[in-house]
Amino acid sequence: MGNSNPKISVIIVAYKVEKFLAQCLTSVIQQTYENLEIILVLGIGDIACEKIGDDFARRDARIILLKKEPRGVAVARNHGLGSATGAYIGFVDGDDWVDADMFERMFNNSVRYDADISVIGKYEAYANGIEGSTEHTESVMNGYEAFKQLLYQRGFFLHLWDKLYKHTLFETLRFPEGERVEDRKVGYQLLGMADKIVYDTAPKYYFRISEDSGSRVADNLILSLKNDYEMCDYILSKYPELSKAVTYFLVYENMSVIQNNILFYAYSRKRDMEYILYVRSHVKDILDNREITRSIKIKTLLCAYYPWLFGKITKERRNRFLKKHQSYQTGTDWTKTFAQLEERN
């Protein structure tokens, strides 16, 4: 593929992921879409990642190496955006990897449908195997349709790494620095600015599951919930007809906070009562909504009125899951942690 194609800037933020960075970079430099600008943002002092970055930059002139004081993912991504000159922007996390044709496929879809955002499917990569549907469908959505599928959790979410964006979307937008759930906040604003979104479910991105991922820590879920309310206010201001979907999403996210607090020993009936009461206050809305599955309705009832049973089922399901799915260990051993929990109970 020649350089007549517009340039894609791929922003990769890497910090303390030396075990996985070479695989990530190899998968990006081997893309069938060759007109790439690969912006690798590294934290100064992360010697192992710096060495890997230096080695790859010597081998491939498309790699732009930015070594910055480690001040969080948002700051690093903003550094990357500040250096990006491509017509399109993509993101890859430094501990993940991608199929060789991912960016070509997302670009072709973007051109074919004149889409502002092109979304691709993903695999979830565990240490003992990879999971994901190989079903392939393409759909073109406007903002209303994209937010509806997001709220009902029927497709893609707010992640940055499974999407290719027209650079123009970032003209006035940067990541809020000093916040840990910055991708969600920027993610919904990008969706809100897009006139057209294409979603190709073919899985091309490999999202590595590690048990000490920031998104899995209990207090991050509470921060995410705060952002969820902001996002839902934003959605309702644009699409008030999505109020039922918003209610479902917020009930589900409140239940997720309770579940994670149970699993990470942060659960307190007194403190978590605010989440239980939110769920309880919307039970009728959930039961009356024909878009919601029976299993979610049962889960909502259990959470609202039998939280002790809800907690017991949550722990049992999580332990069953952990027996089949071995996460990458980059720090905390949650499998051992849950085993200790069972011993105490």
Confirm if 145 and 116 have CB atoms less than 8 A apart: no
Residue 212 confidence (pLDDT): 55
pLDDT tens digit sequence for 70-109: 999 999 999 999 999 999 999 999 999 999 999 999 999 9
**pLDDT confidence of residue 178:** 80
Residue 318: its pLDDT value, please? 87
Instruction: Give the pLDDT score at 218.
Output: 57
> Does the pLDDT value for residue 215 go beyond 60?
no
The share of the chain scoring above pLDDT 70, in percent, equals 91
Half-sphere exposure of 301 (CA within 13 A, CB side): 9
Q: Is residue 174 pLDDT above 90, yes or no?
A: yes
Proportion of the chain above pLDDT 90, given as a percent: 76
Residue 219 has pLDDT above 70, yes or no: no
Total residues found in the chain within this entry: 345
The chain-wide mean pLDDT, for the chain, equals 90
Confidence of residue 341 (pLDDT cuts 50, 70, 90): very low
Of the candidate ranges 117-131, 188-202, 274-288, 320-334, the one whose mean pLDDT is the lowest: 320-334
How much is the pLDDT for 282? 98
Q: Please give the average per-residue pLDDT across 53-74, as a whole number.
A: 96
Q: Is the confidence at residue 340, as pLDDT, over 80?
A: no
pLDDT at residue 309 tops 80:
yes
Q: How confident is the model at residue 18 (pLDDT cuts 50, 70, 90)?
A: very high
Token pair 């979304």: residue: 119
> At 338, is the pLDDT very low, low, confident or very high (cuts 50, 70, 90)?
very low
Q: Compute CA 272 distance to the chain's CA centroid, rounded to the nearest angstrom.
A: 25
Rounded Cα distance, 289 and 308, in Å: 25
Q: Any idea which of 123-137, 172-186, 258-272 has the lowest mean pLDDT?
A: 258-272
Residue 225: pLDDT over 50? yes
pLDDT mean over 268-295? 94
Res 330: pLDDT:
61
Q: Is the pLDDT of residue 145 over 80?
A: yes
| Distance, CA of 338 to CA of 265 (rounded, Å) | 10
Mean pLDDT calculated for residue range 194-217: 83
Note the pTM of the prediction, 2 decimals: 0.90
pLDDT tops 60 at residue 342:
no
Mean per-residue pLDDT, 108-134: 95
Structural domains in the chain, CATH included, are: 8-208 (3.90.550.10), 217-344 (no CATH)
